[in-house]
Amino acid sequence: MSFRDLNIKSTYSTDTDNVVVDFYNPVLRKSFGYDRAVGYFSSKALIKNIEGINGLLENDGKMRLVIGETLTNEEYQAIVSGQDQSIQDRMGKAWSEIFNEAENIPENKLKLEVLSWLINNNKLEIKYAFRRKGLFHKKIGIVRDSLNNIIVFSGSMNETEMAISANIENPDGNSEEIDVYMSWKEESFADHAISKINSFESLWNGNEANTITMNIDSAHYLIIKNFYSKNYPPQTFHQANFFDSLNHRKELWKHQENAIEIFLEKERGILEMATGTGKTTTSLEIAYQLIKQNKVKTIIIETYGNALLHQWSKEVEKWIYESYPEELSHLSIFKEFENYSSMINFLNNIDDSILIIGKDAKKLKNLFSSNALLNSKDKVLIIHDEVHKFGSPSMIANLDGTLSQYKYSLGLSATPEREYDEGNDFIEKEVGEVIFEFGLEKAINAGILCEFNYIPISLSYSERDLEEKHRWIKTYQAKKNSKNPMPLEFLYTQLGKVRKKAEYKPNKLDKFLEENASLLENSVFFVEDMDQGNEIIEIIKKYTPYFAKFYSENDMSTIDNFANGSIKTIISCTRLDEGIDIPSLTNIFLVSATRAKLSNIQRLGRCLRKDMNNPNKKASVVDFIVIDHDTINNKDINADESRRNWLKNLSKIKKHG
């Protein structure tokens, strides 16, 4: 499913072409992502493009739309000062009037049902763009296919009925023209189209100079979401039979069914399932079964990091509104992380409610010690994602003896090695023991995770590395018999840093990429810190301009750009170790790897996920191995070499049959 199969022209004009038939519909049918920034928008334009949009949705694609809006000077100043209620009220009133007027006009009602369904099912996101003076008049279109081909178009055309309807056979429509740029024709793409992509992302994230980008607030979305009937899709979409795949639960693998059956019998415990084998889906199916049997009325999901919390939010919304809309649409979702603060509201309305909350020990203590929850403790399901992080000293100090009171407790982890922290006993007492295991070996053998090539790159220490290493060993030996000896574990940590940041790694990477630059496509580099990351970037930029750093959860646009193909390579420290689901990720470079097997399992799981758009995917793991036999004992010698042996053996596992 590629744009390259189409005969796409570099320019389309309504005076000589039927832009919808010749361009929009064939391109959207092969797409899975559609970004559009326009000065004016009409829901009627969606209907004109309905054939192409059906294809986009069949591919499980999504649309992002930025619409221009004008402001009075008073409204602009109010927004700048953070007092934007007047403009929000005006926007809300406008939406309300549109939807109220549509009630008695079947044609208009149908168009708005389409818009409502798209937004309600997270297939369309809308934002407004304002200028201090003048109009927001940018017109950018970006479409992506499953093979990461990108089409960028720009010109005079808005997303309105008069613009979309215009064509050579309709002289009453507008006179419009668009220029088209294709990523596989790099001469035309590199100079112009990349700037359009960057401009859209900057606009979407609110970073465009002299322009304010605003989300439609929840009240407006509520108007739209309540417009259509959740029990059936808009009739307009019936010609495409994709609802059969959207509005039912995902088919479960056999190991997921086994895990669900075991938990429902035991009611407490930990599922140890390799990354990419469906922990989230399994836990939500458990929740569904407990709700269906009227055993649970309240669900709490706690995990670590904003990226994971946002991902859980999206998965819970899909679970409710796509998998089980008839059975679960009565549930309310509350969030307590980042800028969300609705735990108190949740505690006032715990029945038929879900709370998604971060691993904050004091907040969790207040939550689980509340009378509202304790009075219903037999009707509460607690899901502990990344449960290996739950045994920290602060968790033990705040929650010891609290969670064991709750009847249903489900822990999730990717490691089959029980490599938890010092709080193993606490985790087992408060969450439960391991009741199900499904590791990497089983997942690859079953064809649930893809096979991979293992490529070790061996290197030795430089003179500088050896001096640093021996300095730490001498310091340890000198303090060994003193009143304040250096802890042996601290020595191992420092020796590990020398190994992870070995001086020759960038040079080895450069020589490797001279013959293997293709592995930069859909790749992630795991580095020790930003300093090493900058060294690696100097090498990478010689081979591709499509790279970005990801050191902070605050820059989730990097992940979005990687998923949509705008970025080919990410350089990261530990931010991508856990939870981020990017099926297109194919290759990982372990420039720096930890001793902990858990971290390596999670990093490996990032690239072994199956990709529906690449059914023959085979991953590659490029690993930097420091050969060193000069140390105080075997613990540090084998850190890299033991990982090499493990990954080498794991790479030999093939899909059964």
Q: Is the pLDDT of residue 96 over 50?
A: yes
Tell me what pLDDT residue 365 has: 95
Which residue do the tokens 């038939």 mark? 21
Q: Is the pLDDT of residue 218 over 90?
A: no
pLDDT tens digits along 312-369: 988 998 898 778 887 888 899 999 998 888 999 999 999 999 999 998 999 999 999 9
Show the tokens assigned to 64. 């992002």
Sign of the C-alpha dihedral, residues 525, 527, 531, 532? negative
Query: What is d(CA 210, CA 522) in angstroms, rounded to the nearest whole number?
Result: 34
Tell me what pLDDT residue 146 has: 77
Give the containing element (helix H, strand E) for 436.
strand 434-438
Domains of the chain: 3-245 (3.30.870.10), 254-438 (3.40.50.300), 452-651 (3.40.50.300)
- For residues 436 and 43, which has the higher predicted lDDT (pLDDT)? 436
Burial of 541 (0-12, 13-18, 19+ CB in 10 A): exposed
Tell me what pLDDT residue 533 has: 92
Query: SS3 of 490, please?
Result: helix
| 298 Cβ neighbours under 8 A, 6+ residues apart | 350, 351, 352, 353, 354, 355, 373, 376, 379, 380, 381
Closest CA to 272 of 287, 282, 284, 261: 282
Tell me what pLDDT residue 374 has: 95
Query: SS3 of 301, please?
Result: strand
Which residue do the tokens 């060993």 mark? 473
Q: Is the pLDDT of residue 470 over 80?
A: yes
* DSSP 8-class letter at 250: P
Chain mean pLDDT for the chain: 81
Query: What is d(CA 526, CA 575) in angstroms, rounded to the nearest whole number?
Result: 9
Which residue do the tokens 């990477």 mark? 509
Closest CA to 443 of 635, 242, 265, 255: 255
- For residues 57 and 384, which has the higher predicted lDDT (pLDDT)? 384
* DSSP 8-class letter at 252: P
Tell me what pLDDT residue 623 has: 95
Residue 72: phi and psi, rounded to 5, are -75, 160
Residue 403: phi and psi, rounded to 5, are -75, -25
Query: What is d(CA 332, CA 345) in angstroms, rounded to the nearest whole number?
Result: 11
Residue 85 backbone class (left: φ over 0; alpha: ψ -120 to 50; beta: rest): alpha
| 498 Cβ neighbours under 8 A, 6+ residues apart | 461, 465, 468, 469, 472
Tell me what pLDDT residue 419 has: 46
Query: What is d(CA 519, CA 586) in angstroms, rounded to the nearest whole number?
Result: 8
Q: What is the bridge-based pairing of β-strands 11-13 and 298-303?
A: unpaired
Rounded-to-10 torsion of CA 281, 282, 288, 292: 150
Percent of the chain with pLDDT over 90: 33
- How many C-beta atoms surround the C-beta of residue 361 within 10 A? 16
621 touches 454 (CB < 8 A): yes
Per-residue pLDDT averaged across 585-603, rounded?
Answer: 82
584 touches 563 (CB < 8 A): yes
Query: What is d(CA 124, CA 116) in angstroms, rounded to the nearest whole number?
Result: 9
Query: What is d(CA 39, CA 54) in angstroms, rounded to the nearest whole number?
Result: 24
Tell me what pLDDT residue 245 has: 34
pLDDT band at residue 239 using 50, 70 and 90 as cut-offs = very low
Tell me what pLDDT residue 375 has: 95
Query: What is d(CA 588, CA 531) in angstroms, rounded to the nearest whole number?
Result: 19
Q: Is the pLDDT of residue 185 over 80?
A: no
- For residues 193 and 368, which has the higher predicted lDDT (pLDDT)? 368
Show the tokens assigned to 173. 């429509």
Q: Is the pLDDT of residue 609 over 90?
A: no
pLDDT tens digits along 475-517: 988 888 888 888 887 888 888 899 999 999 999 999 999 999 9
pLDDT tens digits along 518-531: 999 999 999 998 89
Show the tokens assigned to 529. 């810190």
Tell me what pLDDT residue 59 has: 72
- For residues 190 and 375, which has the higher predicted lDDT (pLDDT)? 375
pLDDT tens digits along 113-127: 666 777 777 788 888
- For residues 244 and 356, which has the higher predicted lDDT (pLDDT)? 356
Strand partners of residue 549? 571
Lowest mean pLDDT across 47-61, 173-187, 627-641: 627-641
570 touches 558 (CB < 8 A): yes
* DSSP 8-class letter at 167: B
- C-alpha angle 369/372/374, rounded to 5°? 50
pLDDT tens digits along 544-562: 998 988 876 556 677 777 8
Per-residue pLDDT averaged across 356-384, rounded?
Answer: 95
**Highest mean pLDDT pick, 56-70, 77-91, 443-457, 556-570:** 443-457
Tell me what pLDDT residue 95 has: 62
Tell me what pLDDT residue 621 has: 95
Query: What is d(CA 472, CA 169) in angstroms, rounded to the nearest whole number?
Result: 80
Instruction: Kindly list the distances between the CA atom of residue 18 and the CA atoms of 12, 522, 634, in Å, as whole numbers in the listed order.
Output: 8, 36, 72
Residue 305 backbone class (left: φ over 0; alpha: ψ -120 to 50; beta: rest): left
Per-residue pLDDT averaged across 633-646, rounded?
Answer: 71
Query: Which residue blocks in 501-614 are alpha helix, DSSP H?
Result: 505-516, 530-540, 557-563, 597-608
Query: What is d(CA 603, CA 594) in angstroms, rounded to the nearest whole number?
Result: 11
Percent of the chain with pLDDT over 70: 75
Q: What is the 3-state secondary structure (H, E, C) of 10-68?
A: CEEECCCCCHHHHHHHHHHHCEEEEEEEECCECHHHHHHCHHHHHHHHHCCCEEEEEEE
- C-alpha angle 630/632/634, rounded to 5°? 80
Query: SS3 of 588, please?
Result: strand
